[in-house]
């Protein structure tokens, strides 16, 4: 009787076991789910989503949803672009196999003609509004605008810091990173400045986080770079935590700030 009972249950157990074997294991890393909307709250399709350190970008569908998986741990820059809309950048923390959900609104923006930049006295209006020229006039840090960057013709954005006082480029197993040449008793090897991109702060302290954030920016996308090597030189609004290793501010052509 026991054998008959087991034989009766076996056909029911086998499909469940087979189904479990066919169910793929979830890919390692975190997942990002974005709901992309326009300024009126309507779903916005065809917005490209790039996460720093992830090779494959995502794109929002007709419902405005974008999905990216296999995101490594850390605080990472998320960048959204769509023709006719202002670029959006935000920082998000990813840990383990968490699913991070965000709603992002994109604002229509007139498309600039190639080679045309709005200026005042030969200066970028965006940089004027962001206070770049006021800080440059005070001269507390090192500054570089797009015309100087074009003359240098760097292959990567990190190469700019080979020409900026108070900083140097150090090779790591992850890739090249920027370190300060001074700090409050901190060695050069560990003295990584805090990075801001269009006013958004990236969490410092991780070699991979800094490398991915800087490597994500193309040199030809930069309007200007300003860098402050020590705590006494950093503008107060960009040093809320009292960084001993300096601060780097990147201002890009598509940035939403200003």
Same-domain pairing of 86 and 202:
no
Cα separation of the two ends of the chain: 81
Tally of structural domains, the chain: 2
Domain residues for the domain of 73 are: 30-106
Same-domain pairing of 65 and 156:
no
Q: Using an 8 Å Cβ cutoff, are 255 and 198 in contact?
A: yes
Same-domain pairing of 101 and 124:
no
C-alpha–C-alpha distance, residues 97 and 219, integer Å: 33
Strands 142-145 and 222-228: antiparallel
Q: Quick check: 252 pLDDT over 80?
A: yes
Q: Following DSSP, what letter does each residue of 117-181 receive, concatenated?
A: --EETTEEHHHHHTTHHHHHHHTSSEEEEHHHHHHH--SSGGGGGGSSTTEEEEE-SS-EEEEES
Same-domain pairing of 74 and 187:
no
- pLDDT tens string 183-199: 444 445 568 888 999 98
Q: Using an 8 Å Cβ cutoff, are 231 and 169 in contact?
A: no
Confidence tier at 242 by pLDDT (50, 70, 90):
confident
Given 42, 71, 106, the domain boundary residue is: 106
Same-domain pairing of 101 and 166:
no
Same-domain pairing of 231 and 141:
yes
Same-domain pairing of 57 and 129:
no
Distances (CA, A) of 164 to 73, 112, 196, 251: 31, 30, 17, 16
Distances (CA, A) of 149 to 78, 143, 152, 246: 24, 11, 5, 21
- Range in 14-18, 32-36, 51-55 with the lowest mean pLDDT: 14-18
What's the CATH number where 43 sits?
A: 2.60.40.1120
For 206, phi then psi, to 5°, come to -115, 125
Among 33-37, 88-92, 107-111, 137-141, the range with the most confident prediction by mean pLDDT is: 33-37
For 8, phi then psi, to 5°, come to -70, -35
pLDDT of res. 200:
87
Tally of CB atoms within 10 A around 148: 13
Average pLDDT (31-59) is: 91
Same-domain pairing of 89 and 143:
no
Same-domain pairing of 44 and 92:
yes
C-alpha–C-alpha distance, residues 50 and 216, integer Å: 9
Composition of the chain by helix, strand, coil, percent to 5:
25, 35, 40
- Per cent of the chain over pLDDT 70 is 78
Is 56 strand, coil or helix?
A: coil
What is the pTM for the complete model shown? 0.59
């Amino acid at each position: 009787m026991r054998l008959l009972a087991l034989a009766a249950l076996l056909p029911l157990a086998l499909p469940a076991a087979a189904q479990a074997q066919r169910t793929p294991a979830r890919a390692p890393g975190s997942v990002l789910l974005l709901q992309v909307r326009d300024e009126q709250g309507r779903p916005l399709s065809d917005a490209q989503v790039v996460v720093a350190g992830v090779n494959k970008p995502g794109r929002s569908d007709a419902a405005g949803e974008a999905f990216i998986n296999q995101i490594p741990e850390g605080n990472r820059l998320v960048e959204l672009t769509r023709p006719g809309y202002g670029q959006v950048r935000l920082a998000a923390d990813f840990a383990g196999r968490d699913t991070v959900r965000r709603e992002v609104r994109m604002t229509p923006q007139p498309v600039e003609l190639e080679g045309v930049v709005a200026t005042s006295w030969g200066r970028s209006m965006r940089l004027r509004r962001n206070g770049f020229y006021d800080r440059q006039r005070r001269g507390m840090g090192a500054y570089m605008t797009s015309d100087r960057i074009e003359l240098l013709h760097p292959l990567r954005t990190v190469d700019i810091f080979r020409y900026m006082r108070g900083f140097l480029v150090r090779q790591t197993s992850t890739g090249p990173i920027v370190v300060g040449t001074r700090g409050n008793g901190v060695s050069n090897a560990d003295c990584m400045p805090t990075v801001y991109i269009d006013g958004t702060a990236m969490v410092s302290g991780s070699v991979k986080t800094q490398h991915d954030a800087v490597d994500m920016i193309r040199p030809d996308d930069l309007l200007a770079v300003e860098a402050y090597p020590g705590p006494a030189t950093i503008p107060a609004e960009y040093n809320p935590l009292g960084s001993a290793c300096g601060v780097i501010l990147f201002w890009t052509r598509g940035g939403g700030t200003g």
